[in-house]
Amino acid sequence: MLTKRIIPCLDVKDGRTVKGINFENLRDAGDPVELAAIYAKQGADELVFLDISATLEKRKTLAALVRNVAREINIPFTVGGGISTLEDVSVLLQSGADKVSINSAAVKTPSLIDELAKQFGSQCIVVAIDTRMHNNEPIVHTHGGTRPTSLNTIEWAKEAQSRGAGEILLTSMDHDGTKSGFACSLTATISSSLHIPVIASGGAGTMQHFADVFTIGNADAALAASIFHFKEIAIPELKRFLQHHNIPVRL
């Protein structure tokens, strides 16, 4: 059985790690390079680095910061934010990223997924989906969660897979930063609809929440930010807890 992955997320704005609630009210959470090194030592399976204002501000993810993070870690590293061309991806992979995460650009130009998968391989293309419930329907949002689209989240995840995405990073905006638990029902629906891995994001507050999203939500990986940044949950303890609950993890 494949092990379940624990992935800290570094949301970066202006070179600093930040964290908010429902994508708003951001507060400083530390230096991303230092945090990345700590998480790698603690046993994180992967890292995700998101330049959360890159798309909104129409600038590119800071390649230099990516290089600095990559030098400090020995685990897979996904980078996203403002990626819209093959050149963007090439620069980030050359800077030390193992995978790239695309969101707004993929919604705007779905064929970008096909192009990136063909050029770089599906294994390094993560399609991130920010979703929020609207009239009891999960709706895709873009531009850092600020713009609702007409896309149903489940259907978009299926299309992303069909175009060559290697993974889906599913963030529930309704749960983000609330520490009330992951969107297990939606995660389970999407996981059962796809054959590629689904990373669940948004809502982690307790170790039981991780157990729930792996068992009820059938997620392949779980991503969290503030509970790690502010030392509310330590990764080694979390992994021991999951192992005790018969959830396979890499110790």
Q: Which residues pair with 134 in a beta bridge?
A: 137
Per the CB < 8 A criterion, the answer to whether 6 and 251 are in contact is: no
Structure tokens at 98: 């193992």
3-state helix, strand, coil in the chain (%, to 5): 35, 30, 35
DSSP-H helix ranges across 25-62: 32-42
Cα distance between residue 68 and residue 63, in whole Å: 9
Number of other CB atoms surrounding residue 139 within 10 Å: 18
Per the CB < 8 A criterion, the answer to whether 52 and 14 are in contact is: no
Cα distance between residue 248 and residue 112, in whole Å: 34
Structure tokens at 159: 């299309």
Per the CB < 8 A criterion, the answer to whether 26 and 19 are in contact is: yes
The single-letter DSSP state of residue 76 is -
Point out the residues that are catalytic: 11, 130
